[in-house]
Every structure is written in structure tokens, then in C-alpha cells.
Amino acid sequence: MAWFKRTEKGIQTATEDKKDVPKGLWYKSPTGKIVDAEELAKNLWVSPEDGFHVRIGSKEYFEILFDNNEFKELDTNMTSKDSLGFIDSKKYSERLKDAMDKTKLKDAVRTGVGKSKGKDLVVCCMDFAFIGGSMGAVVGEKIARGIDYSIKNKIPFLMISKSGGARMMEAAYSLMQLAKTSAKLAQLADAKIPYISLCTDPTTGGTTASYAMLGDINIAEPGALIGFAGPRVVKDTTGKDLPEGFQTSEFVLEHGFLDFITPRKELKDKLNLYIDLIQNQPIR
């Protein structure tokens, strides 16, 4: 019955019985477009209004790339150690625990092995939600082991980068991962196994200075931030205004650091097309 026809006055609803609008029903893109969250997920987390690629993690990329989302995860329980007893605003050990509790992840990268368009593929995918996708000893080790698996089983390797750079809480240990992963990729190249690097938003710091730019083919999602130091640092250091679109994937492509920009909807098809072409196999 409508409120103005109520026969009883002063009716009140208990707080626990009130119906709130559930969170996450709508998403607002940086250009101000409002998108239904369910529609966004069906569109692979790309805004249908403006093509903006929403930042996603390994769970979503595995769903996109692996047939029927079926894959085996490697090195699932590997976790970082606070070898240096590092403390900033809080202990590194506490920061790790908080990140694991919040994200339900063990570290900033996951490795999956499964079928993509019917053929085996190894995918190492970074998760920005875990301490900004920072690269520490575990990230480097899991990538190295993923490459070893590719070499042993002669399976193409895909690296999906999404990182703020090296993890400062591990100091020199994190920087060692640049050389470690680069050396492993050299072994992969010697074995003549395809390596495709996908740069997503953001790909910065030591990640860009190592494995993200060492692919047989380097690709990126539209509008991704790709660079070493961030735009603000570059501007402050040079004292000059930056060109329009500086460090976007489109800008980086124009200046020769990328081979292609691939929208997320086309990622699975394009990725496997590149692999077939590299291996001189029938195109799937």
C-alpha cells in the first residue's frame, strides 16, 4: 500500500530491514561514462561507452585466455620473506600479511598453464592489487620457473605486466630480478620458444627495464601507462612540459617500443595468431 494511504501513523522500519542499493552495480570510467557493472564484466571489463580498459587482475585474464577457464596454477604457495627486517610506516612482514588477507593472493604474480584456442600456453600474470604489482624475489622466481616450464615442455610463454616497479622493501633483492628474468628469457630464446609480452596499465619501473620489453612481440592494451619513471618524475627532472599522451601505449607504439596495440576483446585471437605465425603453423 502506498505511504499516503497508510491507516497507521508513525510506521518505522528497523535499520536491519532497510534495503540499501548494493555496492558495485555501476562503474564510472575516467571520462565520466556510467556503465552497469554486470554489462562491464560481460564486455571483458572494457567500457562499451568509451572503450576504456578497466584495470583487472590474473583471475580475469585467465578467464579471458584459457579455454573454459581451465588451467593448472604453478607454485601456488610461494610467498615473500622479510629478509631485511624492513620497516617504513609499518613492518614489511605486516604489509605482506595485510596484502594477502585483502587480495587473497600470495604475491604479485600468478602462473597458469592451460589450453588457449586448443593449444598449450604458459601465462605469468601480475596483480596490481598486491602491493602495486611490485616486483620482489617471489615475482622474479615465479616468472623464472614459468619460463623453465615453457622450456621443458616447449610451450609458448606469455607475460602480462602490470606493475609499479621494483619492491623497495626488498631493496637489492628486488633489483636482482631484472637480471634473473632477463637471463631466463635469453634461455627461452635459445630454445626457440615464442615469448609474447603484454603491457597493461601500468607497466613501469624495473618491470619495463627488464622482461616487459624483451618479447619476441611486445603488445599492449589501449591507453595503458608504459614507461620507466612516471610522467610527474620525468617532468620534474627535465623541467619541461611533456608531449600530449606521453607514456600511453599509443605514444609508445608511435615511438617504436611496441609492435601492436590489442584491444582486450581481440587479445585471445591476436595472441594465438602471433604464436601460429612465429611458429610457422596453420592459423587457428
Residuewise pLDDT in 10s, the chain (284 residues) = 454 555 555 555 555 454 454 555 788 887 788 888 888 999 999 999 889 999 999 999 999 999 999 999 999 999 999 999 999 999 999 999 999 999 999 999 999 999 999 999 999 999 999 999 999 999 999 999 999 999 999 999 999 999 999 999 999 999 999 999 999 999 999 999 999 999 999 999 999 999 999 999 999 999 999 999 888 889 899 999 999 899 999 999 999 999 999 999 999 999 999 999 999 999 99
Give the CATH H-level superfamily of domain 56-279. 2-enoyl-CoA Hydratase; Chain A, domain 1 (3.90.226.10)
Number of Cβ within 10 Å of residue 222's Cβ equals: 17
The contacts of residue 191 (CB under 8 Å, 6+ apart) are 151, 154
Predicted TM-score (pTM) of the model is 0.89
What is the Cα 157 distance to its own chain's centre? 15
H-helix or E-strand spanning residue 163: strand 157-163
Question: Alpha-carbon distance 199 to 220, whole Å?
Answer: 5
Check residue 23 and give its pLDDT. Answer: 56
Q: Which part of the chain has CATH 3.90.226.10?
A: 56-279
| Per-residue model confidence (pLDDT) at position 230 | 83
In this prediction, residue 68 carries a pLDDT of: 97
The predicted structure's pLDDT at residue 12: 56
pLDDT given at position 14: 56
Contact 134, 166 (CB under 8 A): yes
CB atoms within 10 A of CB 268: 18
* Residue ranges with strand state E in 25-101: 26-28, 34-36, 71-74
267-278 helix and 58-65 helix, angle to the nearest 10 degrees: 60
Determine the pLDDT at residue 19: 47
34-36/26-28 β-pairing: antiparallel
Cell of 13: 522500519
Q: What pLDDT shows up at residue 21?
A: 46
